[in-house]
Copies of this chain bind each other. A is one copy, B any other.
Amino acid sequence: MAGTRVTAERPPRALRRDAIRNHERILTSAREVFEQSGADACIEEIAARAGVGVGTVYRRFASKDALIDELLRLAMDDLIAAAEQALARDDGHGLEQLLRAFGKSFAEHARYANLLLDRQPDASAARRIREATAELTARAVAAGTVGAGVTRGDVTALISAMRAMAQTPGEAAPERWQRFLDIHLAGMRATRGR
């Protein structure tokens, strides 16, 4: 170890401009295609929509799974940011704020939202979110924003539920998840003890 040249020595030869552009395009295209066709859409379609060849996709992402993981990681970043923000306020409404952020994110990434949180490309990110959820739940209970006896598990379940809402096609108005959340929050407020 000692004296070993730090790997950071690697000349960070920046990507060529066109390579960067394609990288972006692929990400965008992948989001759109997965959104429309679910997680089993094929790479060729993603490449075509991005206006590149499949080879280019594979030069940038080791495999289809890696591509999906990257997409999820990016989405996860948003959630983490939302969690930090919710933790910042110190009244008892951070939990509700976090839940609304989750709902919004799920609605945006509807079709592949099911992968979110199940797959865990980045375990530490998932842990942070879990911790934030626990903390915010505790605060909400303390502040009486939700009834005593509401647990982290209850909140986790609610999150899964909102995710399902986003995926379910049907006549779902885009705001259905909000209404659903309102109802469930009312229920949690009414929940005393277990």
- Chain A residues in the interface with B (C-beta under 8 A): 118, 153-154, 156-158, 160-165, 168-173, 176-177, 179-180, 182-191
18 example contacts (A-B, Cβ-Cβ < 8 A) are as follows A118-B169, A153-B171, A153-B176, A157-B165, A157-B168, A157-B172, A160-B161, A160-B164, A161-B162, A161-B164, A161-B165, A161-B180, A183-B184, A183-B191, A184-B187, A187-B188, A187-B190, A190-B190
For the complex with contacts A153-B176, A183-B187, 8 further pairs of A-B residues with Cβ separation under 8 Å are: A156-B170, A157-B168, A157-B172, A158-B180, A160-B168, A183-B184, A183-B191, A185-B187
Chain B residue, CB-CB nearest to A185: B187
Contact check: which of B176, B185, B190 meets A157 at CB < 8 Å?
Answer: B176
Task: Report chain B residues within 8 Å CB of A190.
Answer: 186-187, 189-190
Contact check: which of B156, B157, B165, B186 meets A191 at CB < 8 Å?
Answer: B186
